[in-house]
Amino acid sequence: MLSYENVRHAFGERVVLDGCTFSVRAGECVALLGQSGAGKTTLFRLAYGAFDPDEGTVRVGGVDLRGVHGAALRQVRARIGVVFQAHELIDELSVEANVLAGTFGRRTTLGAIRSVLRPSALERRLAHDALARVGLGDRVRERAYHLSGGQRQRIAVARAIAARAELVLADEPAASLDPSLAREIVDLLTADARERGAALVCTLHQPELARSFDRVITLEAGRIVRDAVAGAA
Ligand SMILES: Nc1ncnc2c1ncn2[C@@H]1O[C@H](COP(=O)(O)OP(=O)(O)OP(=O)(O)O)[C@@H](O)[C@H]1O
């Protein structure tokens, strides 16, 4: 579903990714560990087609992303669900509207407005199902700013669940949460991916959270230093 082959990239003089090769199959949950600045977010941005790497190949669903733009790139992106950070929620909107805007309309501003103002019955059902799944089924009408930090992060997860994407990219979904909430968020993501047979890649700072994944990849200064079955010594 996602593969990196000998990917190298530098921003100016700074080499950020240095020969990264790994792939993630459909139905596989991969934790990506690494210290701040290791290159984790850059790998995600490449998967989303934000830019081409200096060298190497990035594929999503078998599509080589190099030089892919416009409608073709939008088609690739439609297969990817991104778990946004809770701080990207719009406080003044309801919980439901945040899921609708972040899930169905995220590719264009106009699409976001339409999804919030006039969601289709299907969009609304998917949003409600996802919110029920993360335990917020009774909070759909409340404004996002009424919710706690952990609940807000669950809204961010609901956005990705509602999208029912084949590939889910979660960039530090458990950052700044206490350990039990962090575990809850990670478990919600892995359970959803496993049920649907989706591929999940989740960046984490805390190695102890990686246990519920199938594989753990560790990145250090742009290089993969470990790629192992979760739980392996
Ligand atoms: N657009 C950019 N221009 C210049 N340097 C960049 C750019 N994007 C990222 N970097 C640099 O690339 C390195 C890797 O950044 P990246 O965001 O991928 O790390 P990360 O592993 O996700 O870190 P964190 O855990 O803090 O989010 C960092 O040194 C960062 O400053």
Q: How far is the CA of 14 from the centre of ligand 1 (A)?
A: 10
199 confidence band (pLDDT: 50, 70, 90): very high
- pLDDT at position 109 over 70: no
Q: Which residue puts its alpha carbon closest to atom 2 of ligand 1?
A: 11
State the number of CA atoms in the 13 A half-sphere of 56 facing the CB: 22
Q: Is 39 in the pocket of ligand 1 (CB under 6 A)?
A: yes
Percent of the chain with pLDDT over 70: 94
Please report the ipTM that was assigned to this predicted complex: 0.94
112 confidence band (pLDDT: 50, 70, 90): low
Q: Is 11 in the pocket of ligand 1 (CB under 6 A)?
A: yes
**pLDDT value of position 108:** 63
